[in-house]
């Protein structure tokens, strides 16, 4: 019976050869008569076509059914190296396994919100960073990239938010959110993002910083940068903070110390002795957030709160709440912790120089630090942009009413927002000298107010309209310097300090996505 089976297969091969030479090639390879090149996929395999079922295949199937009916043991069947030819005529001959698999990254849809609560959905890969998302939105919306665009993580159920660092993976941030939490990603400007590289002493007052090495006289900004970016000479930050007791509504004023190993507090006044220090929090598995409504939501003694939150989803009970006496103190603590987290995560990285024809490893720590400082300062090199894209209307044919209303199209003007809302917007976009906006006055409907940041404080200046020979002008200095419209006024104080504490540098805008 074995000989009969082989003869049946040979007959099937001859019948298939008469019908199609391609089938003959396949059957010959299956019976072991072909060379090595016969087993290689033929060019016709790449054609997406349906082939009829070969007659020889039907003959083989009939012999097998006949053999089974006789109930006679048969030889094990030879595996067919081309099973695609034995498929149904209604299905494709080609299998998906024959095609190269695309090594594409998994994608996920994220939603990003702007200041005016408009949103945009983005289809992004799983390894996209916060900086990449900002660049994508800048390109899609044709914004100017001045390195101040930032992605924020907003957690409304506990009233906190934080800056997502440029190197962080956005999908990892989203994976830490709870299913029922209404958290959001916000895209807006933060002018204080890289301000530390330009003016470090602005962020770290002398009474709050203790350097690890002895310093003689005044410390230069480069030395401060070197100490904060170094993994071995990180300065110690210290000062009083209000801490919320776990499981209670009360707050207690305690003296804290920030070191590379974590945040500690003293059980005895301002003592630094090890026996008086107790551990408060570490930074490896938690992030630092700024409280948005500490007084209202958590009963904080001031509005300058911040907290540590575990990376995994958690409620208010998992927060370690702290509160500073003033904004400068909070900025110092938050900035120092952000830099410390970054320096710890980058200890295993190697400094590289790609400026020459060949890349090289920078082994000298001083050279590596100077390169990092230069790159950081280059990010902030962009000068002030003139906000007006067209000349101010000065023609006599234009009415004063037109001059009074042309400012409404400017991004720095905010119509009918309150004083508190203006302060909140400036704080969100960074308490850097020269951050400003112009708004309507609430106390006097006919006047405007210039709100600006200086010395980590927000100041408000009233813009008064004055009339001269039937013409309306705007002034900040009781008429000594007059402008036909607000655009002229803003452009003047962008170039001249005048009566203001500093020049106008960065405007607060509510962009739409």
Q: Write the pLDDT tens digit of every residue in 391-405.
A: 333 333 344 444 556
Share of the chain above pLDDT 70, in %: 64
**Least confident window among 81-95, 206-220, 325-339:** 81-95
pLDDT at 444: 85
Q: Which residue has the higher pLDDT, 38 or 183?
A: 183
Each residue of 457-493: pLDDT tens digit? 899 999 998 888 888 889 998 888 888 889 889 999 9
Query: How many whole angstroms separate alpha carbon 481 and alpha carbon 497?
Result: 12
> Distance between alpha carbon 480 and the CA centroid of its chain, in Å?
46
Q: Taking 50 as the threshold, does the pLDDT of residue 291 lie above it? A: yes
Longest dimension (CA), the chain: 121
CA-CA-CA-CA torsion sign (425, 457, 192, 413): positive
Q: Which residues of 29-57 are buried (b: 16+ CB within 10 A; e: fewer)?
A: bbeeeeeeeeeeeeeeeeeeeeeeebebb
Taking the whole predicted model, whether its pTM rises above 0.75 is answered as no
Phi (first) and psi of residue 184, to 5 degrees: -140, 155
Query: How many whole angstroms separate alpha carbon 438 and alpha carbon 249?
Result: 39
Q: Taking 80 as the threshold, does the pLDDT of residue 150 lie above it? A: yes
Query: CB count, 10 Å around CB of 493?
Result: 23
Query: How many whole angstroms separate alpha carbon 153 and alpha carbon 158?
Result: 12
> Alpha-carbon dihedral of residues 477, 482, 483, 488, nearest 10 degrees?
-50
């Amino acid at each position: 019976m074995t000989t009969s089976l082989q003869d049946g297969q040979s007959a099937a091969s001859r019948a298939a050869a008469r019908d199609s030479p391609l089938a003959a090639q396949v059957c010959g390879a299956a019976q072991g008569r072909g060379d090595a090149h016969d087993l290689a996929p033929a060019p016709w395999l790449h054609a997406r076509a349906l082939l009829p079922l070969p007659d020889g295949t039907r003959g083989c199937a009939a012999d097998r059914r006949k053999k089974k009916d006789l109930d006679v043991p048969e030889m094990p069947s030879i595996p067919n190296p081309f099973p695609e030819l034995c498929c149904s005529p209604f299905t494709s001959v080609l299998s998906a396994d024959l095609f190269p698999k695309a090594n594409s990254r998994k994608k996920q849809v994220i939603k990003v919100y702007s200041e005016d609560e408009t949103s945009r959905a983005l289809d992004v890969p799983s390894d996209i960073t916060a900086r990449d998302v900002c660049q994508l939105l800048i390109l899609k919306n044709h914004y100017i990239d001045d390195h101040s665009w930032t992605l924020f993580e907003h957690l409304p159920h506990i009233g906190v938010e934080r800056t997502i660092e440029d190197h962080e993976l956005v999908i990892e941030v989203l994976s830490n959110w709870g299913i029922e939490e209404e958290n959001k990603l916000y895209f807006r400007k933060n002018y204080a993002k890289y301000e530390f590289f330009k003016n470090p002493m602005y962020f770290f007052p002398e009474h709050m910083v203790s350097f690890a090495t002895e310093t003689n006289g005044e410390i230069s900004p480069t030395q401060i940068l070197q100490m904060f970016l170094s993994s071995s000479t990180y300065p110690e930050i210290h000062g009083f903070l209000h801490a919320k007791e776990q499981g209670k509504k009360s707050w207690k004023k305690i003296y804290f110390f920030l070191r590379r190993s974590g945040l500690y507090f003293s059980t005895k006044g301002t003592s630094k002795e090890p026996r008086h220090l107790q551990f408060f929090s570490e930074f490896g598995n938690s992030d630092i957030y700024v409280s948005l409504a500490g007084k209202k939501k958590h009963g904080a003694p001031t509005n300058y709160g911040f907290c540590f939150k575990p990376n995994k989803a958690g409620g208010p009970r998992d927060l370690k709440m702290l509160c500073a006496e003033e904004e400068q103190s909070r900025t110092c603590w938050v900035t120092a912790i952000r830099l410390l987290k970054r320096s710890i995560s980058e200890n295993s990285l190697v400094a590289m120089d790609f400026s020459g024809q060949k890349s090289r490893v920078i082994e000298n720590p001083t050279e590596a630090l100077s390169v990092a400082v230069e790159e950081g300062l280059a990010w902030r090199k962009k000068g002030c942009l003139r906000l007006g894209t067209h000349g101010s209307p000065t023609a006599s044919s234009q009415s004063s009413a037109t001059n009074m209303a042309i400012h409404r199209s400017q991004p720095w003007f905010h119509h009918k927002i309150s004083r508190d809302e203006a302060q909140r917007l400036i704080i969100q976009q960074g308490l850097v000298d020269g951050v400003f906006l112009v708004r309507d006055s609430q106390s006097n409907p006919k006047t405007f107010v210039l709100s600006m940041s200086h010395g980590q404080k927000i100041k408000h200046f009233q813009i008064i309209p004055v009339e001269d020979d039937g013409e309306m002008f705007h002034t900040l200095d009781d008429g000594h310097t007059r402008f036909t419209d607000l655009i002229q006024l803003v452009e003047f104080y962008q170039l001249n300090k005048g009566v203001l504490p500093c020049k106008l540098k960065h405007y607060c805008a509510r962009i739409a996505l």
